[in-house]
Amino acid sequence: MIYKSKQGRTIGKFSGGTFKKEVSRKKHLMRKLNSWGIQEEVLKELPDETRIEIFDKDERIIYKTTAKEFREGCTYLQFGDFGLQAFLPLEKFRTEKATSRVLMSPQWV
């Protein structure tokens, strides 16, 4: 399943128990909180056990957590037309350096 914003932009993909989102650190990092964000409307739909993987294409790092951990540690902020967003600080994620093999798998293509 592909999640899209009200503006029609792809937010992320849900498949095989994992929600995957691709971001650019330069554009998407919430610097004030040093956090990655997910739209609240998407996060509330994900079961607790859902794995969340956020791929930072600038740094080639995959940030990993679960929906339950994200909800328990996040801060919510309203962003006008973009709606309510949940932000989880980078230090609360497990990280993995992305390899070419990982990035060529169907989930990231």
pTM for this predicted structure:
0.87
What string of pLDDT tens digits covers the 109 residues of the chain? 998 887 888 889 999 999 999 999 999 999 999 999 999 999 999 999 999 999 999 999 999 999 999 999 999 999 777 789 999 999 999 999 987 655 544 554 4
| pLDDT of the residue at 89 | 98
| pLDDT of the residue at 109 | 41
- Write down the residue that tokens 């328990």 correspond to: 72
Query: Contact, 27 vs 36, CB < 8 A?
Result: no
Q: For residues 76 and 3, what is the distance between their CA atoms, to the nearest angstrom?
A: 19
Q: For residues 71 and 16, what is the distance between their CA atoms, to the nearest angstrom?
A: 20
* Token pair of 50 as six digits: 């859902």
| pLDDT of the residue at 7 | 80
